[in-house]
Amino acid sequence: MQEVGTTLVDATELQDLMKQKLMKAGLKEEHAEETARHLTYADACGIHSHGTVRMAYYAERVAKGGVNRDPQISFEETSASTGIVHCDNGMGQYVCNIALDYAIGMAKKSGVAVVGAEKTGHSGMLSYYVKKAAENNLIAIAMCQSDPMVVPFGGSENYFGTNPLAFSAPKADGEPLVFDMATTVQAWGKVLDARSKHRSIPDTWAVDGEGNPTTNPSDVRGLLPIAGPKGYGLMMMIDVLSGTLMGLPFGKHVSSMYADLTKKRNLGQLYILIDPKKFTQLDAFKNQISQMVEELHEMPPAKGFDQVYLPGERSQLRYKEAMKNGIEVASDIYDYLKSDTVHFDKYNGKDAFAE
């Protein structure tokens, strides 16, 4: 499969191009700016599946009314440590960031916060949110629903989504501990990124329409759960906590990303935040996290590895490098961002595995 070219783009330019494109599609400036900041973070981390590759889709959904451009966001405090943010189907990255702010405030006040964001759109990388919580000296767990695109262990049809999970904790120095994973072998966005660059994928990621392993990202019709029944169990748990818990659609009833871009998605996201000071001394906690990191770094690496890294650590290293030296973007996507075209009218009415 022949790969397409890439272009190195300054982070500030990339964020501004995406902001302007989203505003042209109909988003308010504040909403577009936060979304573009989030997408730039994803591309800088090297998680291109959640960055610019999504832009034409987002612009089309916004332009066609599938995102509420003027959401009436409200926080319903259901107890001293629980609450629901009613997101009114605003742009996912924008409304979920606001929901996180409510959760951070509650956790700092009560010590623990379990806050749901209900009726959101696609919200991007969960690590973006939990990192922000850790920077506020909080432990964080985040999870969310997604399209039914995964064949359950032992099954032959898609039922749950990739349903990601993220965790963070503050350290005594440097970047916080941040871990973000899909409950599939790879997130769907990774397949999209491979398509955009005309790259093949490992045959362990997904299956085609007949249930056979495939290396062609365009032939994918079902993703596989990580570690078989274990990943299957995790995605079920996440669906319950980020969907059913808030009375939202579950499993195969979760709305499709592409089926009708004029309709709102009604997705759910859940934050669980803990203030370490309610359990131990904050400095002692952060020092132990830093000690753990140092001990892992000092461990002799296995053959073929240069170092033991923490989960998510290499993404943070890529982020620092990219923010300084530029972000690699597929050249045709960069051309689209610079163009006057709002979107290509290509996603509406497609199935979950649309090109």
N-to-C CA span, the chain? 16
Residues in a beta bridge with 328: 8
How many CB atoms are closer than 10 A to CB 351?
12
Task: Give CA–CA dist 105/37, Å, rounded.
Answer: 22
The string of DSSP letters for 98-139 reads: HHHHHHHHHHHHHSEEEEEEEEE-----HHHHHHHHHTTT-E
Q: Which of 18, 8, 5, 3 is nearest to 321 (CA)?
A: 8
Write out the catalytic residue numbers: 122
φ/ψ of 30, rounded to 5, equals -60, -40
